[in-house]
Amino acid sequence: MVSYPCCSIVQFMGLVALPPALITEYCGRGSLYDCLAAASKQDAAAAQLTWRRRLAIAADAGTGLCYLHRRDIIHCDVKSPNLLVDEVWRVKVADFNLSKILVGARPESIGSDGGLTNPIWAAPEVLRGERATPASDVYSFGMVSLVLYELLTWRLPWTFAVDMSPFKVGATIMAGGRPEVPPREALPGPDTATWSGLDAYLQLMRECWAQQPEHRPSFDEVVGRLRQLLDAAPPSPA
């Protein structure tokens, strides 16, 4: 087994020659997308997603992406289906098929195919065909409300919009548009109505969405601010 010093990266266990396959650690709750979909439909699942738990999920994911960025790796496909959740709700960053290594890379090799296939999570500069940077992952993290938006609404970005095809989504993002943020009373969660950190969370999310990459916070800052919110969050019920 290859073990990484970061527990927020899915662990590589081995490979199979025939049929070709990678073996990774098992994450029993599936992806973050699966968890949020269940919470949107089942009261028992929804009750588990307090803001303390949601902040811990976001901090775990941010920690994994911060680990990659410190090693000059851009994930390039940050989205809730690529964040795996284990039995004790720890989140692991997975699926490095589109990842890019910055050191020694030619500029033309650091584009992002993910922007073409997943426009709802893609940064504006990626949609314009420009090179991906660590700030592109930060944007996608904010959109996923991976992590911030999806943890907030339990819905995919742009699903509140009517008649938004992928082409329209891409054009809207490049023009500076962002998904609608529902009012507090319309947001899901067992403790959303009373959570005092919502405004700070929304501010961080919107900073991650900044149109210009240089205006987005680094993952070091994102994780630090999430952990501050986590420290101040009320404990989850037993």
The residues annotated with a catalytic role in the active site are 77
Q: 92: left (phi > 0), else alpha (psi -120 to 50), else beta? A: beta
Closest CA to 25 of 76, 73, 90: 90
Q: How far is it, in rounded angstroms, from Cα 90 to Cα 40?
A: 20
Q: In sequence order, which residues have a C-beta less than 8 Å from that of residue 37 and are 6 or more positions away?
A: 154
Place of tokens 């420009």: 130
- What secondary structure, in 3-state letters, does 114-180 show? HHHHCCCCCCHHHHCCCCCCHHHHHHHHHHHECECHHHHHCCCCCCCCCCCCHHHHHHHHHCCCCCC
